[in-house]
Amino acid sequence: MAAGQSAIEARGVTKVFQGAGQDAVKALDNVFVSIRENEFFTLLGPSGCGKTTLLRLIAGFDFPTEGEILLHGQDIAPLPPFRRPVNTVFQSYALFPHMTVGQNIGFGLEMLGRPKAEIEARVNEMLKLVRMEELRNRKTSQISGGQQQRVALARALAPAPKVLLLDEPLSALDYKLRKDMQIELKRLQHETGITFIFVTHDQEEALTMSDRIAVMSKGKILQIGSPRDIYDRPSERFVANFIGDTNFLEGEIAGTAGSEAKVKLASGAVISAGLPEGFSGKNRVTVVVRPEHAGLTAPGKKADLSGKLENIVYFGTDTHYHIMLDGGASFMIRQQNSRGGGVGHAVGEAVGVMLEDHAAQVLKD
């Protein structure tokens, strides 16, 4: 990617928090990431993976121990937060309790020294954007959580930042409201054309909203890609495990051709699987298959894998089939239910498993 294209770029960013005495914590470990202009980029990972630290470094609340952070090619790592054209939506919203909704939204512009009339107009515009026109003169304590969320968004968007940082902004909302806000956020990003960097530990949120996702663990970025990439072609065990349900199959590489490999499983069956970028060429590998990328076949029919049906769990929208494969590994298949009824498999019966094309993926580790 050309340097001019990226809105935010982290180059070899390391952040060490000096604890009391010897226990220094490495929150970020040599992170490289390039976030494109006008992109909805998500940092996804469990708590303590460093995603919020990275966000705080971009915002300027903390400074990197090593490395640079570039905004449109310019190093902003040494700048204080109030010198960066970057605004944050906080997890707790952090609305000023002694100001009204309107004063909160206008705060950034006021600090930038914009004329009163301009602030007035911009605040109205923002209120309209988040559909809160009638609440302008309310105190922030007098509005609901969802409304506070919108005010926090409007406040961060009002100064028209180059990049908007969102630190798990939806985590405090209930399920229904969260769904609405996901769509709302996507709309706002589209309408404003601002680069959004979104931090979350919710894989579903990440998959539905993002243009690209960076999966993080223990201060490192493990994989960056589109939601489909990340879900269909996870490159590491952690990524495969963290996002969605996955079947793990152990095997040996029997031969490679381009980005495809033949993998011989414990049962002796040979399947073809995609190779991840930067594959080390080791012999013993783990292959992952998403449960919905495989189907059951009747005994005797052509199949990639074979085994015994151990359990059938009905979930309404779909049914999970738990299979004990011949090699001793367990395997799960998810099939969408249709009104036509199930295929009529019974627990205990010998079944075959048919993998879809490109369903299997070799992991790097």
Partner 1 sequence: MASAKEFLEASERKDVRDRWLLSLPALLIIFAAALGPLLVVLLYSFMVKGDYGDVKLWQWSTEGWFSVFFQRDIFDDTVSLADAHLTILWRSVWLSFLTTLLALIFGFPTAYFIATRPEGTRDIWLFLITIPFWTNLLIRTFAMMEVIRNEGILNTVLIKIGIIDAPLQILYTDTAIMLGMLYVYLPLMVLPLYASMEKLDFRLVEAAYDLYATRLRVLWRVIIPLVKPGVIAGSILVFIPALGAYVTPRVLGGGKNMMLGNLIELQFGQGRNWPLGAALSITLMAIVMVAMLVYVRQASKGTGSHG
The site for partner 1 (CB under 8 A) is made up of 20, 59-61, 80-82, 86-88, 90, 92, 94-100, 103, 107-108, 111-112, 139, 155-156, 159
CA atoms of 309 and 315, how far apart (whole Å): 17
* DSSP assignments along 73-108, one per residue: TEE-TTS-GGGSSEEEE-TT----TTSBHHHHHHHH
84 vs 233, beta carbon nearer partner 1: 84
In the complex, the smallest distance separating the C-beta of residue 188 from partner 1, rounded to whole angstroms, is 18
Q: What is the closest distance, in whole angstroms, from the C-beta atom of residue 65 to partner 1 in the complex?
A: 19
Least distance in angstroms from the C-beta of 189 to partner 1:
19
CA atoms within 13 A on the CB side of 99: 15
User: Positive or negative CA dihedral for 172, 174, 179, 180?
Assistant: negative
Residue 357 burial (CB count, 10 A): 7
* Residue closer to partner 1 (CB basis): 109 or 309: 109
Task: Check if the beta carbon of residue 230 is closer than 8 Å to that of residue 215.
Answer: yes
Closest distance between partner 1 and the C-beta of residue 42, in Å? 20
Minimum Å gap between C-beta 321 and partner 1 is 48
Q: How far is the CB of 234 from partner 1 (least distance, A)?
A: 34
Tokens 């915002």 map to which residue? 59
Query: Which residue, 159 or 295, has its beta carbon nearer to partner 1?
Result: 159
| 94/143 with CB nearer partner 1 | 94
C-beta separation of 236 from 320 below 8 A: no
**Complex with partner 1: residue 108 or 227, whichever CB lies closer:** 108
Nearer Cβ to partner 1, position 163 or 309? Answer: 163
Whether the Cβ atoms of residue 63 and residue 53 lie closer than 8 Å to each other:
no
* Tokens, residue 110: 């006021």
